[in-house]
Amino acid sequence: MLNVRDPRDLIFEAARMNDGLLIRSLLAERKASVIDVEQGSDHSALHIAIIGGKMEAAEILLQHGAEPLLENGTQETPYDMAWKTVLTFGDTPNAALWQPIRRTDRWEQTCLQVSMYYNDPVTFGKLFIDRGNDVNARDIGGSCTLLEAVRMGHHDAVTMLVDRGADVTLQDQWGCSPLLAAVGANNIEMTSKLLQSPFVDTGVVDCQNRLVLHYAAANADAALLQLLTNHRSEGVDITAKSTAGHTAFDVVEQRQAEGLHESKTGIDEVWMRLFAALLEHVTQIVQGPPPPYRDVEDQATDYSRTDSRGSSVYHDAKQHLSPLSTRFARYITGSKK
C-alpha cells in the first residue's frame, strides 16, 4: 500500500537535492518510506532522483528497497526513466532488475546509441555492450552507434566501437557512413581509425551520389588530404558526379569561390596541390597498381606524369570534367595547355 504525501515532504526534497545523508536519516528514523509517493504525480522519491539524475540519492533509495518498477500517475516507472538517462546501479541489491537494457525509445535507439550523447560514452558504451546491446543496432533513421559517435566527435568511442566489432560500412537512410561523416567533419583521428579497418569502403556514396572525394573537397584540410592520399582507395571515380551534377573538382571550385578553404587551411595553393595529388593517387589506383607513396611536403608532385595510357590528371579533367573544373585543373597543375 502506497503512502500519498505532500510534495513538499522532506523525503522528496532530499531526493531533489541529492542529499544522501538526509535520506538515510529519514528512512532510519521511520519519518519517511520508500513507498511514499507525491500527491498528484504519484512520483516516488526514486522517480524524483532518477528524473534529476541524482545518482547518490537513487543508489541509497534502491539499497533501502525502493521499487524500480513502481508506476507513477502516467504509468512510468523509475526504470523507464533511468535507461534513457543512462544511470546504472550495478552495486545495489536491486541491480538484477536493471540488467536487461535492450529496450529502445520511440526513435528505436538503444541505450548504447543514446550513450554516445553523454560525456563519458566509452564507459557507458562498454557497459551496454557487455550487457547485451547490439553494437550494430540501427535506429529508425538507419543510423548506428558508430555513426552517432562520429557525429558527436567522440574519437575514443569510435576506437572502442571499432575494436568491439562495429560495422564500419553501415549507412543511414541518407547514405551517410561513418567514413563520410568523419571526412565531412574534417576529423583526422576518426578518419584514420576507420581507414585502418580492412572492411572500410572508400568507394561509398551517399543518397546524393557524393563520394569521399566530394566530402574532402568541401571540408578537408591539408592534413586530412595527406591521410587520404596515403590510403589505398580502390574503385573511386574522380569524374563521378553528385545528383546535383557536381564532380569533386566542382566542389573545390565552389569552396574556392566562397573562401572556405582560407578559414580551414590558410594556404590555398598548398591545399589545391594536395587535392590534385589525392586525385592523381586515386586515378593511378583505379587504372593499375598504386605508385609508392611520396610525402608531398618532402617531394613535389609531378603533375605531368602519365599513366599507362598516357593520361595525366589534367588530361582526365579536360576529357571528363566541366569547363570550370578544367580551368581549375589547369591552375593547380600549372598547365598552359
Give the residue ranges of DSSP H helices in 32-154: 45-51, 55-63, 78-84, 111-115, 121-130, 145-152
Weakest mean pLDDT among 159-173, 247-261, 322-336 = 322-336
Q: Above 70 in pLDDT, residue 303?
A: no
pLDDT of 12: 94
pLDDT, mean of residues 268-296: 65
pLDDT tens digits for range 154-193: 999 999 999 999 999 999 999 999 999 999 999 999 999 9
* pLDDT bucket at 91, cuts 50 / 70 / 90: very low
pLDDT of 103: 62
pLDDT, mean of residues 259-271: 59
Rounded mean pLDDT of the chain? 78
DSSP SS3 for 167: coil
Q: Above 90 in pLDDT, residue 27?
A: yes
CATH code of domain 101-201: 1.25.40.20
Q: What is the pTM of this model?
A: 0.62
What residues does each domain of the chain span? 1-99, 101-201, 205-337
Same fold, 1-99 and 101-201: yes
Q: Above 70 in pLDDT, residue 300?
A: no
* pLDDT bucket at 267, cuts 50 / 70 / 90: very low
Better-scored residue on pLDDT, 277 or 23: 23
Give strand ranges (E) for 165-281. Answer: none
Could you tell me if 324 and 331 are in contact, meaning their C-beta atoms sit under 8 angstroms apart? no
pLDDT of 317: 45
Give strand ranges (E) for the chain. Answer: 3-5, 36-38
* pLDDT bucket at 71, cuts 50 / 70 / 90: confident
Q: Above 50 in pLDDT, residue 274?
A: yes
- Residues 295 and 248: their CA atoms lie apart, in Å, by 22
Q: Above 80 in pLDDT, residue 136?
A: yes
Q: Which helix (H) or strand (E) holds 273?
A: helix 268-287
Give the range with max mean pLDDT: 50-54, 85-89, 126-130, 180-184.
180-184
Dihedral of CA 72/76/81/83: which sign? positive
Q: How many percent of the chain have pLDDT more than 70?
A: 72
Cα maximum dimension of the chain: 92
CATH topology assigned to domain 1-99 = 1.25.40
Give the range with max mean pLDDT: 13-22, 84-93, 318-327.
13-22
Better-scored residue on pLDDT, 267 or 232: 232
